[in-house]
Amino acid sequence: MKILVTGGLGFIGSNFCRYIITKHSNYEIVNIDKIGIGANPANLQDLENEKRYKFIKGDICNSRLVNKIVKRVDTVVNIAAETHVDRSIADPKPFIQNNAIGTFTILEAVRKHNDKVKLVQVSTDEIYGEIKEGSFKENDAPKPSNPYSASKAAADMFVIAYHRTYGLDTFITRCTNNYGPYQIPEKLVPKTIIRASKNLPVPIYGSGKNIRDWIYVQDHCEAIDFVLRKGVSSEIYNISSGNELPNIQIVRKILAMLNKPEDLITFVEDRPGHDIRYSLDSSKIRSKLGWRPKYSFESALEATVNWYVNNEWWWKPLATEKILHPTPWKLRDAQ
């Protein structure tokens, strides 16, 4: 099988490429990435001499390039996306362009040039919006709260429409918060590790009580693989681990693992439209496809902390002013 992975130099994309090459000896990967924010060529430098891996620098909005590549693959796993909510609030346009238009460009390429391709759209739990009790199921309606999640919801709707209208072989996965190696340093887990290791204040939005379900990136990669091999066309699959924790608890666990004091925690002004809680019911992928998360939260988080501590060469070039200095949101005293 030859798989086109979009955004394969990003956090989830690079881990997925490495997972597939390691797991399946008869699979090939073509990775297209424009190397924008969140992408890093160093993420897959270990695959540079792998014959079953090919990298193409390019934008998924470039229809001519995407058309050419789609003709030569069996499967597309669309991971490429603008992902940070903060940046989407500051400037929504790139999110509409890369997430919605980018997905549309891929769908058009498949429709016109290779409609036998299997397309997996890697989406997010954020498209559902917040939920204070219970968990979202796949048939719940999207209710995005910010430009990022709105752009991802729009992409999902195009995928659903192209299956119904043109009969394309499509799948959608919606996953909870990922953590693990190669994640861009501005995200909560790596940012906390990096700042705490340097004895810098660790900023937390609001009171830190916002709840997310945390999944190790390797478990997410395996879930996508299960959908590729066993999924039913047109279906949506929620992916979650059941590790629902407030942000403040995540930060405290990391500080404990680093043997750092909790007085490093600094509360900052909450961002606009900050969802209180995300939660997904992933019973469908578990019962229908047989997927289960393999990694325990504590052991995987500790492995992640150790990876960042031991790989400063990787994150240091990416540690911008936002990482090593106070966040753009106004600092305030803890309530």
Percentage above 90 pLDDT, the chain: 87
Catalytic residue list? 125-126, 148
Percentage above 70 pLDDT, the chain: 95
In this structure, what token pair is assigned to residue 286? 């578990």
Residue ranges of the chain assigned to CATH 3.90.25.10? 181-212+244-277+297-324
Helix 188-197 and helix 297-310: axis angle, to 10°? 50
pLDDT in tens, 76-94: 999 999 988 888 988 999 9
List, in sequence order, every residue forming a beta bridge with 77; answer none if it has no partner.
5, 120
| Selection from 6, 7, 10, 5 nearest residue 187 by Cα | 10
Residue 153 contacts residue 127 (beta carbons within 8 Å): yes
Per CATH, is 2-178+215-239 categorized as 3.40.309.10?
no
Q: What are the residues whose beta carbons fall under 8 Å from the beta carbon of 234, sequence distance 6 or more?
A: 160, 163, 164, 170, 171
pLDDT in tens, 124-164: 999 999 999 999 999 999 999 999 999 999 999 999 999 99
Instruction: Give the predicted TM-score (pTM) of the model.
Output: 0.94
What pLDDT is recorded for position 328?
43
Q: How far apart are CA 187 and CA 189, in angstroms?
A: 6
CATH architecture of 181-212+244-277+297-324: Alpha-Beta Complex (3.90)
Q: Render the burial of 87-117: b for 16+ CB within 10 Å, e for the rest.
A: bbbeebeebbebbbbbbbbbbbbbbeebeeb
What pLDDT is recorded for position 321?
53
User: What is the bridge-based pairing of β-strands 28-33 and 2-6?
Assistant: parallel
Residue ranges of the chain assigned to CATH 3.40.50.720? 2-178+215-239
| Selection from 22, 219, 244 nearest residue 133 by Cα | 244
Q: What is the mean pLDDT of residues 204-221?
A: 95
